[in-house]
């Protein structure tokens, strides 16, 4: 498996992210959907990675710089066929290592509060993330869980 910085120009990632947005729409009300689309991810403050198994796209994730010492995990997703195989752990570790290399002192994230997101919340807890108040431009939302980790 290989993790690559992705410029978000390929059809595979466009389809992969569209599926991600569709999933989020089925479990989160519109006012609580914080997943970024392609344009939202093509910002200078965002670095986006894809995970490949040969020629198959099996995962993605991003880091968004919020300030010189604070970043946010965005767009973590593993293909349905590869869930439970450690792909998300491998990618999250990669993102955390990159955040440390960039000198961030804290990394935060927003995920859903619904049962669909329980595996994600468990993963983040396993890696030392703790619940926190809304950060950046987020507002308190019963459909969201905010987590942070000191680096």
Tokens in use for 49?
């990675």
Q: pLDDT (tens digit, 9 = 90+) per residue, 25-52? A: 676 766 666 677 788 899 999 999 999 9
Average pLDDT estimate for 134-140: 96
6: containing domain: 2-150
What percent of the chain stands above pLDDT 70?
92
| Paired sense of beta strands 70-78 and 106-112, if any | parallel
Q: What is the pLDDT of residue 29?
A: 66
* pTM greater than 0.85: yes
Q: What is the pLDDT of residue 17?
A: 86
Report how many domains make up the chain: 1
Average pLDDT estimate for 113-117: 92
DSSP letter string, 92-150: HHHHHHHHHHTT-SEEEEEEE-SGGGHHHHHHHHHTT-EE----TT----TTEEEEEEE
Q: pLDDT (tens digit, 9 = 90+) per residue, 87-113? A: 999 999 999 999 999 999 999 999 999
Domain CATH number, residue 77: 3.40.630.30
């Amino acid at each position: 498996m290989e993790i690559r910085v992705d410029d978000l120009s390929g059809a595979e990632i466009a389809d992969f992210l569209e599926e991600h947005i569709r999933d989020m729409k089925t479990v989160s009300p519109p006012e609580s959907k914080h997943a970024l689309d392609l344009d939202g991810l093509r910002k200078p403050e965002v670095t986006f990675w894809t995970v490949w198994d040969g020629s198959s796209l099996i995962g993605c994730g991003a880091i968004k710089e919020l300030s010189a010492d604070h970043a946010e995990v965005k767009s973590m997703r593993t293909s349905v066929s590869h869930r439970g195989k450690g792909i998300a752990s491998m990618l999250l570790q990669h993102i955390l290592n990159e955040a440390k290399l960039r000198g961030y002192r804290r990394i935060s994230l927003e995920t859903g509060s619904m049962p669909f997101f329980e595996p994600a919340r468990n993963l983040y807890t396993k890696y030392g993330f703790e619940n926190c108040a809304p950060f950046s431009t987020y507002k308190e939302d019963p459909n969201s869980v905010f987590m942070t980790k000191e680096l």
